[in-house]
Structure 1
């Protein structure tokens, strides 16, 4: 104990703080898996990893491409001629062909409804590095970002730990199908001001992690209006963009501002992207900051020196994404396989044993409703149930409280990070557990889920919108937006 205290005195406050968030059940579940990992033959009774949002359903397509294009890795004789030029120093801009290929891929995911300029792309070590980079660029220590709940637990690490930035939850509830309400936005925005904290931006994840839903266009338009009105940044995490497997279709914030339906200050709009989820490449650590603000692009480019994507990875990715035939096939097939896995997981299995999930059309997971299994509607009871799932069912699923969910009893369950046989074993464990606890499943009024996140306007907000002048701040960069005029 004395030695531990002495070591802490020798280290920095960041090193000894718990800002990384590893004390969360989200990470505890991973530790439970690491200590007893499932293996079909060596450890068939082990913990199955259902807490990792990873896309492994199309690796055979990647494998086929690599066999046909060995030169892309520069480690075979066919690509050795490029080795020297790739191995030597690369500047912070990254390889031009890499930025061009990523920009084109982002446009393909949007089905060409929006275009992306390679000059506005900055690279970083995965979405984790990209999130921290944008936080460093936009906020000072003590400033705050608004984040709708439930949200990805890693944001507490990515955005807060080393930057000193704060996160203010925008509370969304299941009773409203997790729609963002103007009351919640206003309350969250007023919170930092009351505490003498400067609110610098709103961070949304579209498609949502953990909900697996997308934002409607009118919601995105309203969020742009809200952030512009308050002269704060809008950061859109779109790392699950290509995982949308059914209607309604994904809409990037890039499409919203390119349509010019609303007048906005583009300097306040930024996109976080990655290939970790859409392509299933988390190990490649490919993160992107795409900003419409030249000053942010310049600053992020300087910061990228602390976490550049390796040149070899850039070269391989550029070669792969430049293959239009492969990319088109991959996007279509990935969506098809995600849809099939999602349907089998929810409709053909969970629904049959009385488990409801939030209706979703994107992502690598489902938002599972186990409220009926709680002995009481408390987060303590949620933790009791979660420990049963980990220790008895031997499934690592993530409790809603680790996602800052405002209501106990919800769990995120990942379904795309395993093969079919492992998934069948996981589902059989769930079925067995539910049969043993059937008496807890008391029939309740059927819930009507929506597939997207839509901004719900209060009567107060509608009154404000009818009088545009009263809605706009004297400091607003846009005096009257088309959205305001439409409401008049």
Structure 2
């Protein structure tokens, strides 16, 4: 009985251990041809799975000869199927393991074929690709190359409507002949009223000066110059500022550092006076460019000191003190006050009493004062402009007071990029001179401007004509706005009017202001600056620059503004 049962168990075991040679195919590592896998050994799941089970009967088929190349280059495939065949519960491993092995085998063969694929026919020989280039290519395809946090931040689209308006106007600029339906630029404070005077002077003097006058020969413009400005230009600029500011104050050329415009001057002072994370107090509304000048690279914050229309947006020491105290409670270190005089965008002028109050406040809080006086010569009202330098007495610590000026506004040379820092702090001057390495004025510009400023007769006639033309255009423009029901804040200087259009916005909020700004761009084809871009706390105020147009173009602008006014009135 025992012998018969043993024979029955043996009969249950399949006798076929050798599968057809065409059942499995694989590529030898040494050749692209396919070799047969002649035998498939069945191994037991029990034990180490390394010993093959011997057959119960002699195999009827002759066993193939051992292939040495196959044993060295091939793969030994082990399939644990014996438990399934014998019915001892090996179903899970007997199905999953072979599938997994077959998947990896196919993946292995696929990769082998891709590595040994024949080159594509080409008329020109191709250079072999080095492994280092391959590694670089594979690494670069995984992730994008990184930028600095600063570059990532400032490369984003502008969120200030001031710059958005400038950019949209530049894409469709108005031209009386070539593009009469384009956008009229009234958002940029650019003085074009006296371009004819500047052009005439350059036409008369450029050829003579370039031949060698006032060092404008090749030896005067080709070599390196001092980064903080040549002394000749500092002296000429000192005389010009003296004349612009009513000849009431003199500026020492040795206390001056020249920069490529007022923008780098403010940035350099921010570097010198405050650390990253510190803050300046700024009365609102203020020039939108301050946000970039101070925040972008120096990392200095601006804390608004809100002024209101009931006081014609004039600064008060009470509001200044409240903003200072609130900032200190939040742990913010206030390093100074940044202020425009004359004000941009309102156009009002700080009185002498207010300047003295600012001096006392700065000394009491032990902070600096930066005054931007770029509109000092662009006055048209009855109020007299008073420079900060005029109220600095000998018994005052002058090291905390700094003045910024440029020729972009009063002399209509915005493209020349000529600015200046006037400081009474030796350490600030020393640091600023080194920092001007990154914002130096070109040598030809310095020499040409020196020649222009040295022409006293031209400068005197220009300043008189400039003030006259600004007054004419401003009075006509403000009067026409008034007839449309748009009132402007009282002003005495600048190249803009601060217009109150709160009656045209629905709802009375910043959202309504932005919608009205969009109407001016799309319906009237006019670019103006909304008050929210100037951090004005009251919705509905807009800065409109009138020096970008001539007196003859005022009716055209008013006609376009009337479209928006009528559209708002009809919808309401």
TM-score (norm 1): 0.85
Shift of the 78–194 alpha-carbon distance from structure 1 to 2, 3 Å rule, reads closer
2:194 matches 1:58: yes
CA contact (8 A) 1:20 1:161 kept: no
2:369 matches 1:234: yes
Give structure 2 stretches of 5+ with no counterpart.
Answer: 1-139
Task: Map Cα deviations across residues 50-77 of structure 1 (whole Å, 9 max, x no partner).
Answer: 0010111111111222222124652x58
CA contact (8 A) 2:308 2:538 kept: yes
2:471 matches 1:339: yes
Q: 1:390 aligns with which of 494, 501, 521?
A: 521
Name 2:270's counterpart in structure 1.
135
Q: 2:171 aligns with which of 32, 35, 48?
A: 35
CA contact (8 A) 1:19 1:157 kept: no
Q: CA deviation at 1:19?
A: 8.5
Shift of the 86–355 alpha-carbon distance from structure 1 to 2, 3 Å rule, reads same
| Secondary structure of 2:242's aligned partner | helix
Task: Map Cα deviations across residues 290-316 of structure 1 (whole Å, 9 max, x no partner).
Answer: 101111111101111111001111111
User: In the aligned structure 2, how far is the partner of 1:27 from the partner of 1:180?
Assistant: 26
- Correspondence list, 1:199-218, <5 A: 199-218=334-353
CA contact (8 A) 1:73 1:312 kept: no
Task: Map Cα deviations across residues 364-414 of structure 1 (whole Å, 9 max, x no partner).
Answer: 110010000111221011111111111111100010000000110000000
Q: CA deviation at 1:4?
A: 13
Q: CA deviation at 1:420?
A: 3.5
Name 1:458's counterpart in structure 2.
none
User: In the aligned structure 2, how far is the partner of 1:37 from the partner of 1:60?
Assistant: 21
2:418 matches 1:286: yes
Aligned-residue CA RMSD (Å): 2.1
CA contact (8 A) 1:25 1:402 kept: yes
User: In the aligned structure 2, how far is the partner of 1:96 from the partner of 1:342?
Assistant: 37
Q: CA deviation at 1:10?
A: 1.2
User: In the aligned structure 2, how far is the partner of 1:169 from the partner of 1:114?
Assistant: 30
User: In the aligned structure 2, how far is the partner of 1:289 from the partner of 1:79?
Assistant: 24
Name 2:104's counterpart in structure 1.
none
| Secondary structure of 1:69's aligned partner | helix
Q: 1:367 aligns with which of 487, 495, 498?
A: 498
Q: 1:407 aligns with which of 535, 538, 550?
A: 538
| Secondary structure of 2:371's aligned partner | strand
User: In the aligned structure 1, how far is the partner of 2:156 from the partner of 2:348?
Assistant: 27
2:557 matches 1:426: yes
Task: Map Cα deviations across residues 164-211 of structure 1 (whole Å, 9 max, x no partner).
Answer: 111111111112221222331112112332222211000110011100
2:402 matches 1:266: no
Q: CA deviation at 1:156?
A: 0.6
Q: 1:191 aligns with which of 301, 326, 340?
A: 326
| Secondary structure of 1:212's aligned partner | coil
User: In the aligned structure 1, how far is the partner of 2:244 from the partner of 2:215?
Assistant: 32
Name 1:225's counterpart in structure 2.
360
Q: CA deviation at 1:18?
A: 3.9
Q: CA deviation at 1:253?
A: 0.3
Name 1:445's counterpart in structure 2.
none
Name 1:308's counterpart in structure 2.
440
| Secondary structure of 1:242's aligned partner | coil
Give structure 1 stretches of 5+ with no counterpart.
Answer: 442-488
Larger radius of gyration: 2
- Correspondence list, 1:349-360, <5 A: 349-360=480-491
Shift of the 308–389 alpha-carbon distance from structure 1 to 2, 3 Å rule, reads same
TM-score (norm 2): 0.73
Q: CA deviation at 1:334?
A: 0.6
User: In the aligned structure 1, how far is the partner of 2:149 from the partner of 2:334?
Assistant: 24
Task: Map Cα deviations across residues 254-294 of structure 1 (whole Å, 9 max, x no partner).
Answer: 11114x6xx42100000011111111111111111110111
CA contact (8 A) 2:228 2:437 kept: no
User: In the aligned structure 2, how far is the partner of 1:81 from the partner of 1:25?
Assistant: 42
Shift of the 418–4 alpha-carbon distance from structure 1 to 2, 3 Å rule, reads farther
Q: CA deviation at 1:5?
A: 11
Shift of the 72–144 alpha-carbon distance from structure 1 to 2, 3 Å rule, reads farther
User: In the aligned structure 2, how far is the partner of 1:304 from the partner of 1:4?
Assistant: 41
User: In the aligned structure 1, how far is the partner of 2:201 from the partner of 2:279?
Assistant: 44
Q: How many matched pairs?
A: 433
Q: CA deviation at 1:93?
A: 3.8
Shift of the 21–117 alpha-carbon distance from structure 1 to 2, 3 Å rule, reads farther
Task: Map Cα deviations across residues 213-245 of structure 1 (whole Å, 9 max, x no partner).
Answer: 111111111111111111100110001111011
| Secondary structure of 2:229's aligned partner | coil
| Secondary structure of 1:103's aligned partner | helix
Q: CA deviation at 1:432?
A: 3.5
CA contact (8 A) 2:216 2:447 kept: no
Q: CA deviation at 1:97?
A: 0.8
Shift of the 81–174 alpha-carbon distance from structure 1 to 2, 3 Å rule, reads closer
Name 2:106's counterpart in structure 1.
none
